[in-house]
Each structure stands twice: as C-alpha cells, then as structure tokens.
Structure 1
Amino acid sequence: MLETVSPAVVSIAVEGRHISKQRIPESFRFFFGPDFPSEQVQERPFRGLGSGVIIDAQKGYIVTNHHVIDDANKIRVQLHGGREYDAELIGSDSMSDVALLKLKKAKNLTEIKFADSDALRVGDFTIAIGNPFGLGQTVTSGIISALGRSGLNLENFENFIQTDAAINSGNSGGALVNLNGELVGINTAIIGPNGGNVGIGFAIPVNMVKNLVEQILEYGEIRRGVLGVQGGELTSELAEVFGYKINHGAFVSLVVPNSAADKAGIKAGDIIVSVNGKDIRTFGELRAKVATLGAGKAVNFGLIRDSKEQIVTATLNGASMMQEKAETLHEALAGAELANYSEDNVKGVRVISVIKDSITAHYGFKQSDIIVGLNRNVVKDLEDLRELLESKPNVLVFNVVRGESTIYLLVR
C-alpha cells in the first residue's frame, strides 16, 4: 500500500521575509522633532519546512496547510523520488488552515485517492506520512483516537480527527491515510509539552478539505457559509431535561432572525444531528461543516424536535469580509489585517492575519480573534472601531472572542 501512497506525499521548503514594526517611544519624537518616525520597520528572512499531498496529478495540484506557506515568497517542492519543482500558491484559507498549490512544469506525478472522512470510526487504523524536522519522508502508524474535536483554539473552524500516530514539526500538510491508502485527513497540529509528540495529533478531515479546494478553484476564494444559529454540545443534562434519548448532536439555543436557519424553520431547542445525511457529534463540527460547504448552498439538516426526527433544507448565507490594514485605524494595531465579521449572531471585527513580531502581536492579538468591544463600547464592524479609535484614547481595552472564550487585551 505504501508503495502507491508515498509518491503522492511531498516535502515543502519555503522562503520569505517577516516584516515587523516596532513602535518608537513618544519621547524620541519630543527630542528629535515631529518628523522623527513613529515606528521602525524591520525585515527578517525566514525559511520553513512542511509537507503536502498531491491531489491532482494531471494539473499538479497539492494540498498543504496555510501556516506552512504563510508569508512565503518562494515555495519549493521535493517529490518522494528526489525531483524538485517550484510551486505557486493558488489560494488558501487561514481560518481552516488549508492551502492549494500548483507545481510548475511537473510530469509523471502520482495522486492520492480520497476516502470518505464522514465514515471514519474511533479505533480505525491510520498512517501518517510527512517530513518531520526536514529528515525526509517518514511513516508512522496509530489509530483514530477521537472525531469532531473542537474548542482547541488551534483554528477558527475546528472539526479535527485526533490520532495517536506520531506527528511532529514538519509533518504539517502531510497525509493521514487509512489501510487502503486513501486520504482521510491533512495533518495539521499537535498538543504536547514544548511542541513535542505525546500521541495527540490532529488532522483536518478530507471532506472538509475537498469543499475548500473546490471553492478556491471555482471562485479563487473561500465563500464561507453561515447558518445563523448559536448553541453548544448536547450534554447528558440537556438531554435529560428535554427528554432526548440521544447523546450527540448540536443543541440550538438561539436562531438569528431572518437567517438561513430561521427561514428553514429551525427553532431554539432543536438538536441538529446530521448535515446532508451525515451524522454530526458536536456544535463545533456543525459550525465547521456549514462554513466549508460554502455560501448559497442548499443543505439538508436532520434535527430532532419533540422527540421526532425531521429534515429541513436551508440555503446558507454568506459572511461579510471587507478587509482593511489595521494601522490605518491606529498605530498600535500595526501589523494586522482586519475584516468585518458577522456569523451565528456574533458581529465584530476579525483579525485576518498578524505579522510575527509586530506591535499587534506584542499586545497579544492572534489570527482569527474577533474584536467585539473597545473600552466598554460595542464594536459591530470596522466603522464602529474606527469611530472609537478616532478619539485617540490613552488606554485601549479590547473585548475579544477567541475560539469559544472571551478575553480582554490591554493596549497602552
């Protein structure tokens, strides 16, 4: 089996430059005059390693993680047999950590077959293939430890496959396959002390990857779907209170008026148990699947109401994504890119990207954070944020939604 799969897994080497901006103390401008710059811009070259998977041999398409190629201006791919090619970035999605590359002038490639990741079961055997620590292609084995993992604050849309197959630095973007040699997921992250492997690795399900790749190829971007519900996991306590005999699914606590869910007839108290006929286990899994299916798609949702199961069809709305450089709003936010955000009854400003070592990074902002408040004022969009910052307050206290938590970030 490995003889047919290994040629489809590649090593990726990237080069780029990190641009960092450091704020100059106001005292410098006092001594050297108003023309003295308010910030210092530094560029630092970097190199990185990762893995990728050939999904279309004829067209030379490779899937990897967004974080593998982020900020890269040169991408070099080495095939299993040693051949090397330059690659170009076709598109990527930082929120789900997926990127699509295309090899230039490559021939005689081997592509991998896709499995149905919705058919996976805990205990299934898996094999991880990648390029850990730049050592070259390495194969490890294990089982699926859990499915539908979310709430890890690794990505904004989380529906991870958890495996105990050894995954280390450099495995990112590599293949997680079943015993038939079919791709079930793209390896993306680990949890462990000091970033080391302790048998807890995570992969993005291949069905999720397929949906994202199709959108990149069709539209050149991700057109994220929005259902318009809030909720959480179906706990045993909730199941007992509502008299449900199931122990999985997404509990709907609120339906946004005039949303796709509202128009489809979904109500608070419903338990959503399937998407297009495929079972879901958690609210995080529902959220990730809806987001990656894409705006404008008609989706069938299986739900339980009053102990009866029914199917409703909802046409997904799209998320608003007007982007802006953060330094145009306030110098203390230099190094970040922001966008309007409106999804599942949460409105605010999303941090699309944060340059490493920038002022924004120094203050603790991270990619995919959602700014929902500033100095006790509600922030619903970029215009709200701009108006609040125009008064030039001395201290900025941002109310930020990060994953499933709400935190405060102080900027002086």
Structure 2
Amino acid sequence: MKVKFIAVLAIASALIIAPVSAGIPFFGDKDETPTLAPMLEEVTPAVVNISVKGKREVRQRIPDIFQYFFGPGGPREQVQERPFQGLGSGVIINADEGYVVTNNHVIDGASEILVTLKDGRQFDAEVIGTDDRSDIALLKIEDGENLTELKIGDSTKLRVGDFVVAIGNPFGLGQTVTSGIVSALGRSGLGIEEIENFIQTDAAINSGNSGGALVTLDGQLIGINTAILGPNGGNIGIGFAIPADMMQNLVQQLIEFGEVRRGVLGVRGNDLTHEIAKALDLKANQGAFIAEVIPEGAADKAGLKSGDVIVAVNGEKIRTFADLGARVSTLGAGKELKLTVLRDGEEQKFEVVLSADDQAVTAAALHPALDGLTLAPSEQGGLQVTAIEEGSMAERYGIRKDDVIIGVNRSPVNTMSALREALSSAGNVVALNIRRGNSQLYLVLRGG
C-alpha cells in the first residue's frame, strides 16, 4: 500500500546520537557504542505489517462514438470491478483486545486484511471503524495471543528538535526502523486530509510506511505515519504523522460507537495575522480569530463573540484556525473544552460543551448540487433541509425547505457521515431519494 503523496510526497533518514542526559539506554553492556537497540527490542513487536486484498470500482467514460449506439438516454460511463492488493503498516495499541491502528487509506475497500507480526505470526483482522476525514482506521486481530502493545505518549508535549524513530514496512521489505527529529508541529493546509494537524519529521518514511509508528526515544507512540512529501515518492526528508492525542480521541469513539461522532464548536474564522493583531491591539502573534459565531451553537451558548481570539484549548497553545479545527473535530460531541480567549486585549476563560456534527451542517462540501442547503437529523429518520438559499444550486435542482433526504442511489442515509460516504462513492450522477410530506421522489444530481 503506497503512502499518500502531495504535490512534490517521503523522508530522509538521519543518524542520531542523543545526549546521555536524556535517560535512554544508548550504550550496550560490553562497550560504549551508541545504540537504540534496547528500546527497539521492546517496541518493534508492537508494529505490524498489513496486507490487504479487495475489489474496487473503476469508472471509464464511454467514447462519444459508442454512445451513438445507446441513444440519448443511454449510459455515459462503464463501471468495472478490478481486484487490488496493497501493503502498509499498523500499531498494536491494546494487546488484550487485539486493537491495531492504521491509516484508513491502507485498508480502504479491502475485503481481506492480514496482519503479520515481527515474529512471523499472521492473523486475520476485522475493521472496527474508520474515519476518512482524518485517515484513521481501527482493526481488531482475530484470535490473537501473546501480543505486544505500544504505550501511547503525550504528543502535545512534543517540541521541535525532539528525537523520534519511525517504524514500518516500506516497499514491502519487512519491518524497518529509521530515525530523525521533529521538524515542525501543527502542519496544516497541505491538502492531504480534510483534518490536518501533522507532526513533521525527517525520519525516513516511504511507500508502505503508512499506518506505522512514530515513537520517542523512550519508546512511546506519539504519531501515526501518514504521508510524505517528495518528487515521485522519493525521500527528501519531509514526512507527516497524525499526533497520538488526535488518534486516541478518534479511536475511543470508534471503539464505543463504531464511528466518529464529531464535535462542533460553531465558529467561523481564520488565522490571527499580524494585521488583525495590530488592528485589535492584541499582544499575540498566533491564534484562531473568530469572524462569526453560529447562533445557538456551542460557542454561542458558552458566550464567545466575533472578534475573540482563541489562543489555547485545555491549556494547549493554538497556532492557527486549522489547528483549532483539528483539535475540536477529533473530539466527540458532548465533550467539554476549556478555551483561553483574548477579548479586548484581556485574557478570559470559557467552558464549552461541543455540539454534534449532525445538528446543523452546510452541505456544499458534500456535493456541488447541494450548495445552499443546511441539513440536520430528522426525528423520523433521514436528514432534513432546515434552510435553503434562494437562487442556490440546490434550489435550482428542485430541493425544497423541509425536504428529508432518506437515501442516495437506493442506499438509506440517516446521519451526515452516512450521507458523506454515500455521496463520495456515488460517482458523477446521484439519485437523491427525498421524502416530501407524505410522498417520496427522486432528484437526479450531476457533477459530483
């Protein structure tokens, strides 16, 4: 399974010699040769290789010359199922339950998942839950015995310059260890995932490392390796990992619910720039500037106002608006947050209870034809149109206020996550099943 790539996506290894004061056993018993071997002997059994098999739909446009034979109402594309195989990595985080964390793109579409341990043992695995927006998946090893788990560290305490070690299965070679440092924190805006708050590292990561472990020198898991930046997948020393605290928040929800029930703060805004800070006479250089507070949302109920600047969540510094979004969206609905806010130059504290992602969602990001809609769960099932903008794309397609979306291409939908998944796999033409009053109808959407 290839690691994800962006524009120019990999990493360069670095030989490191950490100071003795770090408290790590870098020296063997017989000589004083620097080594990470004692730590790696403890943690590498918890990092696994993952191989997958399955079938994926491949859509191809039918050439115009052949469409003539089908007539004006004929198909415009053909759909074929083709087998695929892939390789990746994973991390055992609970030995008793057999839980393995990996990337969603490693196992996406797989019908068979095989986990291979360092000692050569192999186990089938089932999917407990996935979150494609953050690229996390949770697997469960079937009938696993004598497993080793990795202790999860506190990724919020990482600093640029901390030494780290990446463990995974690059190019299907088998378990491989590389080392480097934390190059940057809170990387976002890369276009790799919908939710981004990456740890950047120069520890060598290549294709097949996806889902593997990024650990500290005392063997604690602080990241899940996810993507690389490099021409043609080459290793240029820029790799990205999902922080362990984000991963743990998501995994807890997957274990409890089988899905991520995302929390929403209910604000819109952007990064605190030098210009904004100067205009508001703020003594801060980083933070999340609130341009709009959504009425009746979690932030509104807690007393936040437009013009506020969020500088910390639960005591942890916020650098950008994307940083705030990543932290909030990986927490579950109903979670309590303590926000540190700058208002009129003074620091204030607010306690916020996150609302559910399904309560009120603008649907344009799900499908262009839904631009102008706001959706919320209906008590009778499905997703109700609670608002629609006049002249919007959705209105032109014939959608009306109080319509209830109950299905996509004959697949029932009752939650935003189900609607999102159905639309993402529906292709260019979508048959939207709508309940309107006491009747049902289909609306055909194009351009997904």
Could you say if the C-alpha distance between residues 29 and 132 of structure 1 is closer, same or farther in structure 2, counting changes exceeding 3 Å? Answer: closer
Q: Which residue, out of 281, 305, 309, partners 2:319?
A: 281
Alignment of 1:154-303 (within 5 A): 154-303=192-341
| Separation in 2, partners of 1:235, 1:110 | 46
- Pairwise CA RMSD: 2.4
Of residues 247-256 and 186-195 in structure 1, the stretch that sits farther from structure 2 once superposed is 247-256
Could you say if the C-alpha distance between residues 84 and 198 of structure 1 is closer, same or farther in structure 2, counting changes exceeding 3 Å? Answer: same
Of residues 377-386 and 283-292 in structure 1, the stretch that sits farther from structure 2 once superposed is 377-386
State the SS of the aligned residue for 2:323.
helix
2:120 counterpart of 1:105: no
In structure 1, the residue matched to 2:109 is 71
Aligned 8 A contact 1:272 1:302 in 2: yes
State the SS of the aligned residue for 1:113.
coil
| Separation in 1, partners of 2:343, 2:395 | 44
Aligned 8 A contact 1:371 1:379 in 2: no
2:42 counterpart of 1:4: yes
| Separation in 2, partners of 1:84, 1:140 | 24
Deviation (angstroms), 1:304: 1.2
Aligned 8 A contact 2:261 2:356 in 1: yes
Aligned 8 A contact 1:372 1:378 in 2: no
Could you say if the C-alpha distance between residues 33 and 295 of structure 1 is closer, same or farther in structure 2, counting changes exceeding 3 Å? Answer: same
Alignment of 1:311-326 (within 5 A): 311-320=349-358
Aligned 8 A contact 1:66 1:99 in 2: yes
Aligned 8 A contact 2:364 2:372 in 1: no
TM-score (norm 2): 0.73
C-alpha deviations, 1:2-52, integer Å up to 9, x for none? 111100100000111111233435664543568965542211111111000
2:125 counterpart of 1:87: yes
C-alpha deviations, 1:181-204, integer Å up to 9, x for none? 000000000111112221110000
In structure 1, the residue matched to 2:443 is none
Aligned 8 A contact 1:29 1:35 in 2: no
| Separation in 2, partners of 1:318, 1:50 | 33
Residue 234 of structure 2 aligns with an amino acid whose one-letter code is: G
Aligned 8 A contact 2:369 2:447 in 1: no
Deviation (angstroms), 1:84: 0.8
Could you say if the C-alpha distance between residues 72 and 387 of structure 1 is closer, same or farther in structure 2, counting changes exceeding 3 Å? Answer: farther
Aligned 8 A contact 1:348 1:379 in 2: yes
Residue 56 of structure 2 aligns with an amino acid whose one-letter code is: H
Deviation (angstroms), 1:259: 1.0
State the SS of the aligned residue for 1:263.
helix
In structure 2, the residue matched to 1:22 is 60
Larger radius of gyration: 2
| Separation in 2, partners of 1:204, 1:98 | 9
Deviation (angstroms), 1:241: 2.1
Aligned 8 A contact 2:373 2:394 in 1: no
Residue 88 of structure 1 aligns with an amino acid whose one-letter code is: E
Deviation (angstroms), 1:246: 2.1
Could you say if the C-alpha distance between residues 77 and 310 of structure 1 is closer, same or farther in structure 2, counting changes exceeding 3 Å? Answer: same
Q: Which residue, out of 20, 44, 47, partners 2:82?
A: 44
State the SS of the aligned residue for 2:330.
helix
Q: Which residue, out of 137, 147, 152, partners 2:190?
A: 152
In structure 1, the residue matched to 2:363 is 348
More strand by share: 1
| Separation in 1, partners of 2:73, 2:282 | 68
Aligned 8 A contact 1:224 1:318 in 2: yes
Aligned 8 A contact 1:28 1:36 in 2: no
Deviation (angstroms), 1:248: 1.9
State the SS of the aligned residue for 2:328.
helix
In structure 2, the residue matched to 1:137 is 175
Q: Which runs of 5+ in 2 are unaligned?
A: 1-38, 376-382, 400-445
2:135 counterpart of 1:120: no
| Separation in 2, partners of 1:250, 1:36 | 51
Deviation (angstroms), 1:277: 2.0
| Separation in 2, partners of 1:301, 1:112 | 31
Alignment of 1:301-380 (within 5 A): 301-320=339-358, 342=361, 347-350=362-365, 370-371=366-367, 378=372, 380=374
Of residues 307-316 and 112-121 in structure 1, the stretch that sits farther from structure 2 once superposed is 307-316
Deviation (angstroms), 1:378: 3.7
| Separation in 2, partners of 1:309, 1:254 | 19
Aligned 8 A contact 1:250 1:282 in 2: yes
Could you say if the C-alpha distance between residues 251 and 27 of structure 1 is closer, same or farther in structure 2, counting changes exceeding 3 Å? Answer: same
C-alpha deviations, 1:127-172, integer Å up to 9, x for none? 1110000111111111111111111111111110011111111000
TM-score (norm 1): 0.80
Deviation (angstroms), 1:219: 1.0
| Separation in 2, partners of 1:207, 1:276 | 13
C-alpha deviations, 1:352-377, integer Å up to 9, x for none? xxxxxxxxxxxxxxxxxx44568xx7
